[in-house]
Structures are given as structure tokens and as C-alpha cells.
Amino acid sequence: MIYYTILFYVFAVLAVATAFYVVFAKNVIHSAFALFGTLFAVAGLFVLLNADFIAITQIMVYVGGILVLMIFGVMLTTKIADIDIHTKNLNRIPAILFSTGITVILIFILFTTKWNIKPQVQNQETVSQIGKLMLTTYLLPFEIASIVLLVALVGSAMYARKTK
């Protein structure tokens, strides 16, 4: 049990520290790297919660897909001659108001929710259960998400095709 707690704090500290670095790094590529660490640490937290499927999906989708595309974009936009493109801060006051608002809401939810604490269960196969839930109880959100993705796909194909 003690190992569990130690691992939890290792992953938690790693996630928060790298997330800070993502925001404060001057070099975009360094930010992307730090994001790599954040996403991995969150995947580690999912593993600790016995949510192995979500952990692997997190790595596949975010680390293997989205982050690669982001780095890809950075590589294409930077000139080959100089490797440093810098980030700077814009609209500080609205950003501060907005993020404080979100923080307050999150803390409020954290303390008012009645957390459902269960004893630790044996690691069991989650994939089939998730699949069943997605196609029965949560069918509507699942379908809405797929329509959103389809629209995005059609839209990007529209932009990408050659104009005649």
C-alpha cells in the first residue's frame, strides 16, 4: 500500500511540474517535450487506478497522435536555420480572471462532491465493460462525439483539397 502512495505522489508531482514547464517554457519545442512528460504521468495515474485501457488510450491518442501532430506543426513552421521560436504572453488580465474562475469552481466541486470511495478491487479486464457501456448506456454521447469528429474530418478535407 505504501508503494502505491509513493508512486501516486511521484506521478502527481511529475504531472504538475511538467505542466508548469509547458506553460512557462520560452521555446515551443521544449513545451511540447514537457507535455510529453505530463501526458505520460497522467497515464501512470490511470494505471494506478486500475484503468489500464484509459491509460493506454491516453498514450496512443495524446502522446502518439496529437502531440506528434503538434511537433510536426512546429517543425513545419520553424525555419530550418534557427531552431528557437518563442512564446509570449498575451491578454494577461482576462486570462488571470478566467483561470482563477476555473480554479475556484474546481476547488468548490472538490470539496462539495460526495466521493464514492470503494475498497481497492482486483485488476480485471475493463475493455469489454467499457465497450458495452458505450453501446448501451452512453450511446448518445458516443454518437454525438463521432458526429463531431466526422464534421471535423469533412471540414479539413474541404480545406485541404485543391481549388479548381
Partner 1 sequence: MPEWLIDILITLTKIVIVEGVILTAVAYSVYAERRVSAFTQNRIGPNRVGPAGLLQPLVDVVKLLMKEDIVPAKANRLVHALAPGISILVALSTFAVIPFGDKILLAGREIKLQIADVNIGILYILALVSLGVYGVTLSGWSSNSKYSLLGGLRSSAQMISYELSMGLAVLGVILINGSFELDTIVQNQFGWKWNIILQPIGFLTFLVSAFAETNRTPFDLPEAEQELVGGYHTEYSSMKFAMFFLAEYANVIVASSVITTLYLGGWQFPYLQTFGLPDMLVSILQVLAFCGKVFLMVLFFIWVRWTIPRFRYDQLMNLGWKAMLPLALANLVLTAIILTLFKT
> Nearest approach, Cβ of 70 to partner 1 (angstroms)?
11
List the grid coordinates of 43: 497515464
List the grid coordinates of 126: 475493463
Contact 39, 62 (CB under 8 A): yes
Question: Judged by CB under 8 A, which of 10, 13, 127, 133 binds partner 1?
Answer: 127
* 21 binds partner 1 per the rule CB under 8 A: no
Site string for partner 1, 26-65 (x = CB under 8 A): ---x---x--x---------------xx--xx-xx--xxx
> Nearest approach, Cβ of 65 to partner 1 (angstroms)?
7
Q: For residue 56, with 0-12 CB atoms within 10 Å meaning exposed, 13-18 middle and 19 or more buried, which class applies?
A: middle
Gap between the Cα atoms of 76 and 74, Å rounded: 5
Nearest to 109 by CA among 101, 121, 120: 101
Q: Which residues bind partner 1 (CB under 8 A)?
A: 29, 33, 36, 52-53, 56-57, 59-60, 63-65, 68-69, 71-72, 75-76, 80, 83, 123, 125, 127-128
